[in-house]
Homo-oligomer: A and B are copies of this chain.
Amino acid sequence: MFQSAEIEQKLSKEDFRAIEPGLRTELLKFQQEMTEKKTFSVLLVVAGVDGAGKNKAIARLQEWMDPRHIVCNAYDDPTEDERLRPPFWRYWRDLPEKGEISVVVGSWYQEPMRMRVLGACSKAEFEDRLFRINQFEEMLFNENVLILKFWFVLPGDEQRKRLKQLAKKSRRVRHILEEWTQMMDAEGARETVEQVAQRTSTAEAPWYVIPSLDPEYRDVAFADVVRAAMKLRLERGEPDSISAPAVIGGVRRKTALDAIDLTVRLEKDEYEEELDHWQAELAALTDKKGFRDLSLVAAFEGNDAAGKGGAIRRVTAALDPRIFRVHPIAAPSDEEKARPYLWRFWRRIPRRGHIAIFDRSWYGRVLVERVEGFCSEADWMRAYNEINAFEQELTDAGIVVAKFWLAISEDEQLARFKAREETAYKQYKITDEDWRNRLKWDAYAEAAGDMVDRTSTSAAPWRLVASQDKLFARIDVLKTICKRLKAAL
């Protein structure tokens, strides 16, 4: 979820000044329209640690909109009135009416997360809390509340630095800092936060990550999601899944993919040595007795011509041919089209002791199907959770799920495409479709970035592989598989 948190997103003062008037005009226009129509209300849930400037972003949004119809409800320790009633009571009490906007700070996420990080509730209680939160938000969605959830993030170091600065000025912040340090140092704290974000990012109420290092970008990003979502809700007239806008404040939204360092490379002789080493390691690991109780499912995705096939061949070369199968995933068969989209992958799940390698995978749902419009926005928005559930079934059954995104630059792709056209025995590898897809580079990048953010789980994390240098990429893939298998054995 927070893969894109460490990325720097900026907006210059000039760009900010250029964007502001248009953004304000639209925000006010849509707000007025919703106030008149009174067909839905808006609930903005704001989360993220102190120091990210949540309050400033909220203040700015309120300044930009009609203040009579947007209120901020901040929840701290419960009052006596609240303590004597069920925990959700205070949030219900303050629900906005149709036509109104409410910003919620210190929401229903605060308490379960704190409890869990501090070890004050069991995993089971915690999961139950998340389940109930989903139920609650789904109900709101169906009851015409447009819920938008924002997670304000800072790179880890920056966060600590800011809190320390603030702590000098205020006792309250000193207290927060202590608690925060205690929390984040606690074992599994980051994982808990990730888990919360992932489990509760539903098609009905997804989280939007707001990189907050740059105040101008932060405020515009926050307001721009609100603007875009209100616009869509007004256009569509009824509850519908709404994804994050591709462009925020005129700038393409960056994702984890933008942070991949494509310059890394490996010399030929070094490569040969590493290749021998890791292939031998992989052969040994899959030959172990313990592997008979495991299996491996590896999924390869990436830019066209990034070298998926080559990387896969380096993996399979190390394997006993009796225990693996490579599944190239192209258009589904008639039989597959007639069933839920995950069926074609379930039928290929290997038995224990076996390996299935997917050259393209179930992620097609949120990549090509999304970009090409083969399924509706609601369909691919719900797919993130469906895929996470699918992979959880696999990992729970002792299957190691390794997912690779092989990344190259736009220029490198062009060079490879041309080389393919010019080499006779490589021509089969390049089609008109490849060229067509290339024209949608940005759309695919956005889809891939969202995919990594929303489906990188602790049990089945994405490995982003710099593939500008094919040799480096192949070793990275082999090494990752070996490490994952070793950990599982």
A379-B95 in contact (CB<8A) = no
B143-A85 in contact (CB<8A) = no
Chain A 377-408, CB-CB to B under 8 Å as 1, else 0, gives 00100100110010011101101000000000
Q: Does A10 contact B (CB under 8 A)?
A: no
A342 to B81, CA, bound (A): 20
Name the residue in A145, A385, A389 with the highest tally of chain B Cβ atoms < 10 Å from its Cβ.
Answer: A389
A351-B85 in contact (CB<8A) = yes
B92-A343 in contact (CB<8A) = yes
A95-B397 in contact (CB<8A) = no
| Residues in chain B near residue A98, CB distance under 8 A | 338-339
Given contacts A135-B385, A346-B93, A386-B139, contact A84 B351 (CB under 8 A): yes
Choice from B81, B88, B335, B349 contacting A85 with Cβ under 8 Å = B349
Q: Does A89 contact B (CB under 8 A)?
A: yes
Residue of B nearest to A128 (CB): B127
| Residues in chain B near residue A88, CB distance under 8 A | 346, 393
Q: Give A459 Cβ to nearest chain B Cβ, in Å.
A: 13
Chain A 116-144, CB-CB to B under 8 Å as 1, else 0, gives 00000011110110011001100110111
B349-A86 in contact (CB<8A) = yes
Given A84-B352, A131-B131: 15 more A-B contacts, CB < 8 Å: A38-B338, A41-B339, A85-B350, A85-B351, A88-B393, A92-B343, A93-B347, A95-B339, A95-B340, A97-B335, A97-B339, A98-B339, A139-B340, A139-B342, A139-B386
23 contacts between A and B (CB under 8 A): A41-B339, A81-B351, A84-B351, A85-B352, A86-B349, A86-B393, A87-B393, A92-B342, A92-B346, A93-B346, A93-B347, A95-B339, A95-B343, A98-B338, A122-B124, A123-B124, A124-B125, A127-B131, A132-B393, A135-B385, A135-B386, A139-B386, A140-B340
